[in-house]
Structure 1
């Protein structure tokens, strides 16, 4: 009888060991992070660029599973509405490789700083713009 119990115990342990090995062999897909693919810079409003006015806008961007921004909100203003608007408008067109969990694309939210640095020296077109302003006054 003891031999029968021992054989049953060995069979049970072997079955449990086989179960563990099957679970361990299940492939685990590591998560991937969001990756920017196409991020053209925003159009700098000409009058602000020529006036030497710059700024930094911070946006909160929710990127959907298709890799497109589905929500863009202002977190920190540049104190120039035209710069904030230019940044938001451009970021809405950006493209990303979406983040994944368990091999499936997911929605992820990131913060994006957008800095506008006035061109130095002023481009020639600024002088034409300024001439036009002088003639309009």
Structure 2
């Protein structure tokens, strides 16, 4: 092969490679890197004050755990609340429901957007040990019938 033919071949090869590279760049591939997708997050409790524990029940040693199914909305507020299992005392179950209604959460997210999530929440009522001093007055009042 002579030098002139080799130079022509070299130029033609470079032109072909440049055309191939330019063609591949336009094959639908992104011209800029795609934005990363935000990792999903789970619902997180922010403000969960304890329920009111009626002193009469606490002093009598009545306790238990109420389990509630709670739909956490995109705003982080509890929506629908359903009893899954009761504590064995309707008054404690009612206090658990009232408390959870006022709780605040950070909503779960998917692709950076908040989504509703259903969770189960156990609310426990544990009688205090030892009994608080106020239990003596409560017990006396109950003993007298009032």
Same fold (TM > 0.5): yes
Q: Based on CA coordinates, which of the two structures has the bigger radius of gyration?
A: 2
Structure 1 gap ranges (5+): none
Structure 2 gap ranges (5+): 1-12
The correspondence for 2:24, drawn from 4, 10, 13, is 13
Distance in 1, Cα, partners of 2:142 & 2:84: 33
Distance in 1, Cα, partners of 2:22 & 2:111: 34
Shift of 1:14: 2.3
Q: Is residue 94 from structure 1 mapped to residue 100 from structure 2 by the alignment?
A: no
What is the root-mean-square deviation of aligned Cα atoms in Å? 2.2
Say which is worse superposed, 106-115 or 4-13, in terms of deviation: 4-13
| CA offsets 1:53-81 (integer angstroms, 9 cap, x no match) | 11111110111111110111110111111
* Equivalences, count: 134
| CA offsets 1:21-57 (integer angstroms, 9 cap, x no match) | 53x4223111111110001111112221111111111
Shift of 1:136: 2.9
Distance in 1, Cα, partners of 2:53 & 2:19: 78
Q: Is residue 81 from structure 1 mapped to residue 83 from structure 2 by the alignment?
A: no
Shift of 1:10: 4.0
Distance in 1, Cα, partners of 2:30 & 2:141: 78
The correspondence for 2:115, drawn from 69, 94, 106, is 106
The correspondence for 2:55, drawn from 38, 46, 62, is 46
The correspondence for 1:30, drawn from 26, 31, 39, is 39
The correspondence for 1:128, drawn from 125, 134, 137, is 137
TM-score under structure 2 length normalisation: 0.80
